[in-house]
Amino acid sequence: MPLQLSVAAFFAFFLPFQVSKIGNDEFLRKFVFQYFGRLIIYISMERTILANLPTKIVELKKLSAMAGGTARIFLKRDDQTGSEFGGNKVRKLEYLLTDAQNRGCNLLITCGGIQSNHCRATVAVATQMGMKSAVLLRISEQPPVRGNYFLDLLMGADVKFCTRDEYRDHRSEIMQKMADEYAAQGYKPYIIPEGASNEIGTLGYFNCMNEITKQEKELGITFDTVVVATGSGGTVAGLHLANMVNGLDKRVIGMAVCDNVEYFTNIADHISKGAFALLPNKKSVVPMEEWRGRIEINDGYVGIGYALSRPEELEFIKTVARTEGVVLDPVYTGKAMYGVWNELKEGGNLRGKAKNILFIHTGGIFGLFPVSEKFEF
């Protein structure tokens, strides 16, 4: 074991304080992170507790019957992780915030679409922790102040706009320029990637899969299939990592809401392997060389594009709301659950192959309001 890792392991496991406490001591924080970088937070997998966990699991009996009754559909309510930051992003932010605080940062910078759930969650977390926030939002025209964008402003975020082309090709450079400008003002910025999807953030859904396995024992059921909407790849990567490392033998399916199979396979493969290097125990039941082949992405329900809804998708969202009292969003969960329902009802890749399906509700209710006029009542 390299000396640096050995010393870091000593600090992580034998000193009578935790990383979260180090973050509150200026001298200790500077000393530890000057010499040992991120090693301690990674080895101990420390996180700042923000979300209301564990989130409950409920069965959607009526929707299961409407889909043909060949499989039972369950819902993990990650939309109930918290009000202002409700959804899947907060699980990732718990780990990223700890890293930011241990580095002495006081400003969070991130990016997304104008109705980004991730940006709104990041702003909420920053505000609650007494930090400043700045978001880079992708737009095609001057947006009305509503939905998540309204909440960004309400909670005090600095907002910078860019075009779709600028976002696609240069968002990292633009955020770095923002960070440099804030640093010149005396801030210590911390840049969080799109969707909080990197090797640190994905630990949130590695942890989520462990939470699911505990709930399976409590409920007396085994989920053979776990499905999640996929827009930046970090959530499905974390679930996939836990599935491989622990040998859970589940189908983990990412329902793409943009891009394609190849894109998200590459993303999930890269992030999951990066996160594996941060785990305390570098052992996996499934050999790493088999991981990539076990990543399952369905890009058949992207529809007419990211954050763009077809009438049948909106009608499905309304049907689920009126049938189960569950509100899906038009960007992520609406498309993804529509895909699950269609794959079961129409004899797709789930019908006859899945018995107990767990769909993770990743939130996004605020994204409904900007498109409310598109629903027919």
Strand 57-59 relative to strand 72-76, pairing: antiparallel
The pLDDT value recorded for residue 86 is 83
Q: Is the pLDDT of residue 178 over 70?
A: yes
β-sheet with 158-162: strand ranges across: 158-162, 132-138, 107-113, 189-191
| Cβ(11)–Cβ(32) below 8 Å | yes
Higher-pLDDT residue of 69 and 2 is 69
Average confidence score pLDDT of the chain: 89
Q: Does domain 88-196 have CATH number 3.40.50.1100?
A: yes
Q: What is the mean pLDDT of residues 242-267?
A: 97
Does residue 366 have a pLDDT over 50?
yes
User: What's the CA gap between 143 and 261, in Å, rounded?
Assistant: 31
Is 197 designated active site? no
Question: What mean pLDDT do residues 70-92 have?
Answer: 94
Q: What is the CATH number of domain 57-87+199-374?
A: 3.40.50.1100
The pLDDT of residue 348 is 85
**The predicted structure's pLDDT at residue 210:** 95
pLDDT value at residue 18? 40
What is the band of 45 on the pLDDT scale with cuts at 50, 70, 90?
Answer: low
Mean pLDDT confidence for 370-376: 94
Instruction: Judge whether residue 2 has pLDDT over 50.
Output: no
**Cross-strand pairs, 189:** 107
pLDDT of amino acid 25: 46
Please give the pLDDT value at position 84.
Answer: 85
pLDDT digits (tens, 9 = 90+) for 300-341: 999 999 999 999 999 999 999 999 999 999 999 999 999 999
pLDDT tens sequence across 137-158:
999 999 999 999 999 999 999 9
pLDDT, residue 281, reads 85
Element (H, E) at 158: strand 158-162
pLDDT confidence of residue 40: 35
- How would residue 83 be classed by pLDDT, with cut points 50, 70 and 90? confident
Report d(CA 113, CA 111) in Å as an integer.
7
Predicted confidence (pLDDT) per residue in 85-122, tens digit:
889 999 999 999 999 999 999 999 999 999 999 999 99
Give me the percent of the chain exceeding a pLDDT of 90.
85
Which pLDDT value is given to residue 7?
36
Please pick, among 116, 133, 272, 309, the residue that the annotation labels catalytic: 116
Residue of 132, 176, 177, 179 lying closest to 158 (CA atoms): 132
Does the pTM of the predicted model rise above 0.75?
yes
